[in-house]
Amino acid sequence: MASLAATFGRGAMTNGWVDIKNADVVLVMGSNAAENHPCGFKWAIEAKKTRGAKIVSVDPRFTRTSSVADVYAPLRPGTDVAFLNGLINYAITKNRFHEEYVRIHTNGPYVINEKYGFNDGLFAGFDESSGNYDKSAWAYDADPKTKAYLVDKEMKHPRCIFQLLKKHVERYTPEMVERICGTPKDEFLKVAEVVTSTGNAQRCGTIMYALGWTQHSVGCQIIRAAATLQLMLGNVGRPGGGVNALRGHSNIQGATDMAGTFEILPGYLATPRGELTDLKTYLEKVTPTTLNKETWATMNYWSNYPKFMVSLLKATYGKAATKENQWGYDWLPKTDGNYSWMFIFDDMYRGAKANVAGGTEPGPEGFITFGMNPVGIGPNSGKMIQALSKLKWMVVGENYEIETATFWDDKKTKAYGGPPSSQIQTEVFQLPCSGFAEKDGTFTNSARWLQWKWKAIDPPGQAKTDQEVIARLLLAVKDLYKKEGGPVPEQVLNMSWSYTNPVNPDLGEALKEINGKALEDLKDPKDPSKIIRKAGEQLAGFGEVRDDGTTMCGNWLHSGCYTEAGNLAQRRNNADPNGLGMFHQWGFSWPANRRIMYNRAGADAEGKPWDPTRPSIVWNGEKWVGDVPDMKPDAPPGTYGAFIMNAEGVGRLFAPSMNDGPMAEHYEAVESAVPNALHPKVTPSPTAVALAKKMKSDKDVLGTADKFPVVCTTYRLTEHYHYWTHHTNILNQLQPGFFIEIPEELAKEKGIVNGGRAKVTSARGSIEGVAMVTKRLRKLAIDGKQVWHIGFPIHWGYEGDPRHTGPLANFMTPSAMDPNTWTPEFKTFLVTLEKGGEGVA
Amino acid sequence: MGAIQGFEIRRSSAALRGGGTMLRQQPTVAKYIDTSICIGCKACEVACQEWNDLPLVKTEQVGTYQTMPSLAPNFWNLIQFREIDTGPHGFAWLLRKDQCMHCADPGCLAACPAPGAIVQYQNGIVDVDPEKCIGCGLCEPGCPFDVPRYTARDNKMAKCTLCVDRVTVGLEPACIKACPTGCLQFGDKSSLLALGAHRVKQLQDDGFASAAVYDPPGVGGTSVITVLKHGDHPEWYGLPKDPSVPTTVSLWKRVLHPIGFVAMAAAIFGAIGHFMAFGPKKPVDTAKDAGKEV
Ligand code: SF4
Ligand code: SF4
């Protein structure tokens, strides 16, 4: 999501599930949508049936998606950047890109400062010692006096982004793609032909991706390459276009929106760091300013940051938040280091916050986990098990007894290097919690739609809903602070908790809070005699959010979901007046019930849709009509750039905010199978390597190709859902157990037969399972050398019905991650393969 | 469940006099399967089990995505997965939903000696009445599609009923309701054949010159029609090329069927004969325990 935000301004699926039916080409890459999103994938099928759309599947494995695709091409796991840059190069050299779109809606015409350069695998500004980039070397060139950006609308300036991109990708010829990815040239060209057929106003194509792109040490760069491709083809902001991130859970989009990771607060506001000691400094740091008002007007919507933040603080601390106390900013927890998944476990394992400046503080002593199964999730499950055993206490809220809850049972964990039970002091509390069908609430799907769901049945036995467990915990902690005091008691005591039933809050009330309301009468800024919203009323949307303490709003991005008209997430009206599947009266789609983000880019300079049969929004002379405009509704074409969340108002072919490079470059995985064909001295991503080196416990071992020559990848199956459906027998029946997919020739070489046993070993250990010998994994020649790849699904573990337990797939995966999002590299690592026999795990 | 009451019967096994009253004409219904857009999600497998209240079966990972080797007494709807080399450079992973084909000329019904055990309704659905089924197993060789299975508990033939209980009240079969891609459709056969022709044309335009609808004439056509990309190779999908009712069965039917009494006698002898020769029909023993109840 970091890449989409860095490119377009917001980190989510640009279009929506239903909109995929409007595409002429559907590139499914980095996802296996037919298997993992079967219901959403129906729209790709719909496009095929009704528009004759072509489905293109690019995947290391021939999957169930490939089986219904019109074009399939294999590639070696982890080489997606090379493939995508190859497509961009093809589009430019064959003149199959949408030049007019690039000129008006992207930063292609922008000029980059003279310090920028790219040499032998490194961008300018690399600091060897820290492994980080000084990103000022990637900044736009600006007039020193006026601060206005330099722009060449002809895109001829040698330092303009279009020219830099052209030069950057010219190395990715079809021959180079074949050398790196192993994709035979003719198969690559077939894909290139179909995908770039949309590089014009008449046609439009979409991309469906998921964890197959994010879970790499170059995950963000892969997505950046895809976003760049779509901007070059002019496919963003248009019905049937976009870069569509398919989320891996029914509500993961909602979780991310509501502060799913440590570095963000609800609505993607930055978690303050310790050095930002007051609200003013914080806001100055995070609110982007527009540099180029004069030459290139932009809306720079993030200039409203203070409103979003103050209203969030009002929602958090209620009446206690006042102007005098900076709306309670001091009470907000601040960060001092990296608290992403792998770092939390690294701290836990090493018993010290090793990655925080100073590094002397002890690691966490307690851990609360809900709807998470760290032992299964990994990576490097052996380390996860060891880390948990260092805790004093752990709370697990789940609807099954999951592997994490019994990590202390050495009979089950010995195979993963788990310590003897007698040496583990961790006290484990297991709380039975309700499953998704046993509670109300919303799911926010990949398409950013908030859809209310109603409880189907009561939770069994003593199981409680998550909100009840959390509420009771909070109230008990509040009580303790009241009775015994403690450091910064205001942080807890001032937290507003005004639900009708405080021990089991109604989620409808929580949704109202997320939407926000007026705390005083709100006056019309244009005419102060008019009241636009009375005190106590629900806000109509984030346009009404204020920074003077007169509004509260739990998540500005979701504002508009629960207005005076009621809970809009409950709407189920399937009216579709223009037939494009926007369904504005079905649920609520953030932002502002907009169904296609950046829809201004779906029209040309005059506001006419690129393709009149598929308009996103149209300028009718007075206002924008069609979808909810991603634009000031009455601002005539030419007033503002189409990407209102980006300070410069355009989509970014070159994104200076990324940590590992402003344009995507091919790097091998941290566990690389071969030297980088483009720059052997810089084989994996240097920033990713620096990060992996921060994990330096005895458990963080990496394998090398001389000892572990086979590339391995992991994935999910249609029949199962993460690590808990192996507790569900109807699904076990459909996929009864773990297996390892092995190409036919490799199996033959190793003496492995279909249905027999195979053993996989990585630098972390070994697992064993049933061999699935298949033609669907192909022999790929990499730079003249045979490199094999195999794979296995992730769904099993040691808990549940013994007939349906299986090895922890993530016992195999390394402590390597993406340097922007810290997402683990689950999709490419090194192993050896041999015939199995004795059970290993 | 017995045969659906009040539903007009076209034909019945070992009937004394031909088929039904022919008083009410009903259009022939059909299930349409477009294998070219089936994603093998198995939603239809589960929907079939749940609607028909079939107990779970025991399966084992033996190196395939396919749930079990073949249909089972409690598993009437199975997606078959086949890896096929389609030519020197061609490869396909063909997924086909397997179930009773509801033949217009059902070999199972023709072969069945128990009066009324297998019936064909006026709308073309072929159903089994377990109350009348004697478990003799003669329908098995009668079927060109290897569909009939025998339940472990009471040794009755069991197979897909095309959800006749749902169809009777105007609902589509459960598998069709569950299918997320729309590759399954239900309706009257003539309109589905038209839909199939349209899709075949699309596939041919996409370069699959031999795409075709599988509706084999050897069994009078079927009420399950299947769109195949590789229409010239139904065997790649596990479908017989030119299925027909086995000669012995059709002979039995043509010659003996009209003679009610003889048929009755034959039915009894058939059953006894089978019983003496083989004992009660056993549930199909698929790989290891696969397919058995758990
Ligand atoms: S497929 Fe077999 S069981 Fe089904 S109707 Fe035809 S002959 Fe009978
Ligand atoms: S439900 Fe439809 S798409 Fe899924 S396996 Fe069955 S027939 Fe195929």
Residue B40 Cα, gap to closest chain A Cα (Å): 7
Ligand 2 centroid from CA B45, angstroms = 8
Q: Taking a C-beta distance cutoff of 8 angstroms, is the pair B110, B252 a contact? A: yes
Using the Cβ of B55 and the Cβ atoms of chain A, whether some distance falls under 8 Å is answered with: no
E-strand ranges in A415-518 read 427-432, 441-444, 449-453, 517-518
Q: Taking a C-beta distance cutoff of 8 angstroms, is the pair A752, A770 a contact? A: no
CATH topology for B9-244? Answer: Alpha-Beta Plaits (3.30.70)
CB–CB of B182 and A65 under 8 A? no
Would you state the pLDDT for residue A330?
A: 97
Distance CA A263, CA A265 (A): 7
A68 → closest Cβ in B37, B42, B43 = B37
Distance CA A303, CA A49 (A): 44
Residues A602-609, mean pLDDT to the nearest whole number: 97
What are the domain boundaries of chain A?
2-248, 256-289+301-333+506-568, 341-493, 686-835
Would you state the pLDDT for residue B107?
A: 96
User: Measured from the CB, is residue B147 less than 6 Å from ligand 2?
Assistant: no
Structure tokens given for A42:
């129906």
User: Measured from the CB, is residue B145 less than 6 Å from ligand 1?
Assistant: yes
Q: Taking a C-beta distance cutoff of 8 angstroms, is the pair A758, A752 a contact? A: yes
Ligand 1 centroid from CA B109, angstroms = 8
Instruction: List CB contacts of A290: < 8 A, sequence separation 6 or more.
Output: A298, A300, A303, A647, A648
Give contacts of B83 with chain A, Cβ < 8 Å.
774-776
Q: How many CB atoms lie within 10 A of CB A838?
A: 7
B18 has a pLDDT exceeding 90: no
Distance CA A774, CA B233 (A): 21
Q: Is the pTM of this model over 0.80?
A: yes
CB–CB of B46 and A730 under 8 A? yes
CB–CB of B42 and A729 under 8 A? no
CA angle centred on A376, ends A360 and A706, rounded to 5°? 80
CA distances from B150 to A235, A642, B73, B136 (A): 56, 65, 5, 10
Residue A717 Cα, gap to closest chain B Cα (Å): 9
Residue B254 per-residue DSSP state = I
Give pLDDT tens digits for A219-265: 999 999 999 999 999 999 999 999 999 998 889 999 999 998 999 99
Give pLDDT tens digits for A22-66: 999 999 999 999 999 999 999 999 999 999 999 999 999 999 999
Give contacts of A48 with chain B, Cβ < 8 Å.
37
Give contacts of A774 with chain B, Cβ < 8 Å.
83
CA angle centred on A61, ends A58 and A63, rounded to 5°? 85
Would you state the pLDDT for residue B261?
A: 40
CB–CB of B36 and A49 under 8 A? no
CATH code linked to domain A686-835 = 2.40.40.20
Q: Outline where A520-613 has alpha helix (H).
A: none
pLDDT interval class at A409 (50, 70, 90) = very high
CA distances from B124 to A162, B8, B26, B120, B251 (A): 64, 10, 9, 6, 22
Would you state the pLDDT for residue A510?
A: 97
Dump the DSSP string for A426-442: -EEEEEEB--GGGS-EE
Q: Outline where A25-67 has alpha helix (H).
A: 33-36, 38-51, 64-67
- Nearest partner of A399 among A361, A367, A372, judged by Cα: A372
Nearest residue of B to residue A33 by CA position? Answer: B39
Q: Which residues pair with B126 in a beta bridge?
A: B120
Would you state the pLDDT for residue A359?
A: 67
Using the Cβ of B85 and the Cβ atoms of chain A, whether some distance falls under 8 Å is answered with: yes
Burial class (CB in 10 A: 0-12, 13-18, 19+), A428: middle
Sheet holding B118-121, edge to edge: B9-12, B118-121, B126-128
User: Among A292-296, A331-335, A493-497, A780-784, which stretch is predicted with the lowest mean pLDDT?
Assistant: A292-296
Using the Cβ of B175 and the Cβ atoms of chain A, whether some distance falls under 8 Å is answered with: no
Ligand nearest to the CA of B146: 1
Q: How many CB atoms lie within 10 A of CB A620?
A: 10
Residues B40-68, mean pLDDT to the nearest whole number: 96
CB–CB of A68 and B39 under 8 A? yes
Q: Taking a C-beta distance cutoff of 8 angstroms, is the pair A786, A731 a contact? A: no
Q: Which residue has the tokens 């990296």?
A: A338
Length of chain A: 841
Phi and psi at residue A481, to the nearest 5°: -60, -40
Using the Cβ of B52 and the Cβ atoms of chain A, whether some distance falls under 8 Å is answered with: no
pLDDT interval class at A299 (50, 70, 90) = confident
**Cis peptide bond prior to A680, omega within 30° of 0:** no
Give pLDDT tens digits for B139-175: 999 999 999 999 887 899 999 999 999 999 999 999 9
Residue A226 Cα, gap to closest chain B Cα (Å): 25
Give pLDDT tens digits for B120-135: 999 999 999 999 999 9
Distance CA B136, CA B119 (A): 16
Phi and psi at residue A463, to the nearest 5°: -60, 140
Distance CA B106, CA B127 (A): 10
Give contacts of B180 with chain A, Cβ < 8 Å.
38-39, 41-42
Would you state the pLDDT for residue B9?
A: 86
Task: Please state whether beta strands B224-228 and B29-34 pair in parallel, antiparallel, or not at all (unpaired).
Answer: parallel
- Nearest partner of A172 among A685, A664, A662, judged by Cα: A664
Q: Taking a C-beta distance cutoff of 8 angstroms, is the pair B271, B134 a contact? A: yes
Using the Cβ of B206 and the Cβ atoms of chain A, whether some distance falls under 8 Å is answered with: yes
Q: How many CB atoms lie within 10 A of CB A194?
A: 18
CA distances from A302 to A52, A59, A505, A514, A644 (A): 40, 37, 32, 19, 8
B109 Cα nearest atom in ligand 1: 8
CB–CB of B61 and A770 under 8 A? yes
pLDDT interval class at A118 (50, 70, 90) = very high
Residues B6-23, mean pLDDT to the nearest whole number: 70
Phi and psi at residue B241, to the nearest 5°: -65, -50
Task: Please state whether beta strands A710-715 and A829-835 pair in parallel, antiparallel, or not at all (unpaired).
Answer: antiparallel
Give contacts of A772 with chain B, Cβ < 8 Å.
61, 63-64
CA distances from A256 to A469, A721, A788 (A): 21, 19, 36
User: Among A13-27, A163-177, A291-305, B236-250, which stretch is predicted with the lowest mean pLDDT?
Assistant: A291-305
Give pLDDT tens digits for B240-256: 999 998 877 766 555 55
CB–CB of B93 and A64 under 8 A? yes
Distance CA A444, CA A442 (A): 6
Q: How many CA atoms lie within 13 A of A773 on its CB side?
A: 18
Would you state the pLDDT for residue B273?
A: 46
**Residues A341-493, CATH architecture:** 3-Layer(aba) Sandwich (3.40)
Find which of B46, B50, B61, B79 to mutate to test the A interface (most A CBs within 10 Å of its CB): B61
Provide the number of CB pairs (under 8 Å) joining chain A to chain B: 103
Nearest residue of A to residue B182 by CA position? Answer: A42
Distance CA A729, CA A736 (A): 9
Distance of CA A413 to the CA centre of its chain: 31
Q: How many CB atoms lie within 10 A of CB A161?
A: 28
Give pLDDT tens digits for A538-554: 999 999 999 999 999 99
Considering only CA atoms, which residue is closest to atom 6 of ligand 2?
B44
Quick check: helix, strand or coil at residue B72?
Answer: strand
Candidate from B36, B66, B67, B97 with most ligand 2 atoms within 8 A of CB, to mutate: B97
B97 Cα nearest atom in ligand 2: 7
CATH code linked to domain B249-293 = 1.20.5
User: Among A578-587, A614-623, B3-12, B177-186, which stretch is predicted with the lowest mean pLDDT?
Assistant: B3-12
B219 has a pLDDT exceeding 90: yes
Quick check: helix, strand or coil at residue A336?
Answer: coil
B245 Cα nearest atom in ligand 1: 7
Residues A136-145, mean pLDDT to the nearest whole number: 92
Ligand nearest to the CA of B47: 2
CB–CB of A733 and B64 under 8 A? no
Distance CA A277, CA A272 (A): 9
Q: First CA to last CA across chain A, in angstroms? A: 35
Distance CA A509, CA A812 (A): 44
Candidate from B77, B177, B179, B186 with most ligand 2 atoms within 8 A of CB, to mutate: B179
Using the Cβ of B181 and the Cβ atoms of chain A, whether some distance falls under 8 Å is answered with: yes
Structure tokens given for A360:
């002397």
Nearest residue of B to residue A32 by CA position? Answer: B39
Q: Which helix (H) or strand (E) holds A693?
A: helix A686-694
pLDDT interval class at A677 (50, 70, 90) = very high
Ligand 2 centroid from CA B40, angstroms = 5
Q: Chain B 257-286, CB below 8 Å of chain A: which residues?
A: none
Structure tokens given for A347:
């701290």
Ligand 2 centroid from CA A242, angstroms = 27
Between A279-286 and A305-317, two packed helices, what is the crossing angle to 10 degrees?
A: 140
Distance CA B154, CA A761 (A): 49
Would you state the pLDDT for residue B17?
A: 52
A42 → closest Cβ in B85, B92, B180 = B180
Would you state the pLDDT for residue B250?
A: 65
CB–CB of A736 and B60 under 8 A? yes
Distance CA A604, CA A169 (A): 27
CB–CB of A734 and B67 under 8 A? yes
Would you state the pLDDT for residue A146?
A: 80
Percent of chain B with pLDDT over 90: 71
Would you state the pLDDT for residue A726?
A: 94
Give pLDDT tens digits for A716-755: 999 999 999 999 999 999 999 999 999 999 999 999 999 9
Would you state the pLDDT for residue A354?
A: 77
Would you state the pLDDT for residue B14?
A: 84
A729 → closest Cβ in B56, B63, B93 = B56
User: Measured from the CB, is residue B121 less than 6 Å from ligand 1?
Assistant: no
Largest CA distance in chain A: 85
A736 → closest Cβ in B46, B59, B183 = B59
B178 Cα nearest atom in ligand 2: 1
Give pLDDT tens digits for A795-832: 999 999 999 999 999 999 999 999 999 999 999 999 99
Would you state the pLDDT for residue B6?
A: 61
Residues of chain A with a CB closer than 8 angstroms to some CB in chain B: 34-35, 38-39, 41-42, 45-46, 48-49, 52, 62, 64-68, 70, 718-719, 729-730, 732-739, 754-756, 770-776
Q: How many CB atoms lie within 10 A of CB A171?
A: 16
Q: First CA to last CA across chain B, in angstroms? A: 22
**Residues A2-248, CATH architecture:** 3-Layer(aba) Sandwich (3.40)
Quick check: helix, strand or coil at residue A834?
Answer: strand
Could you give the dihedral angle defined by the CA atoms of residues A311, A316, A321 and A325, in that order, rounded to the nearest 10 degrees? Answer: -90
Ligand nearest to the CA of B138: 1
Dump the DSSP string for B165-216: HHHHTTPPPHHHHH-SSS-EEEEEHHHHHHHHHHHHHHHHHTT-TT-EEE--
B275 has a pLDDT exceeding 90: no
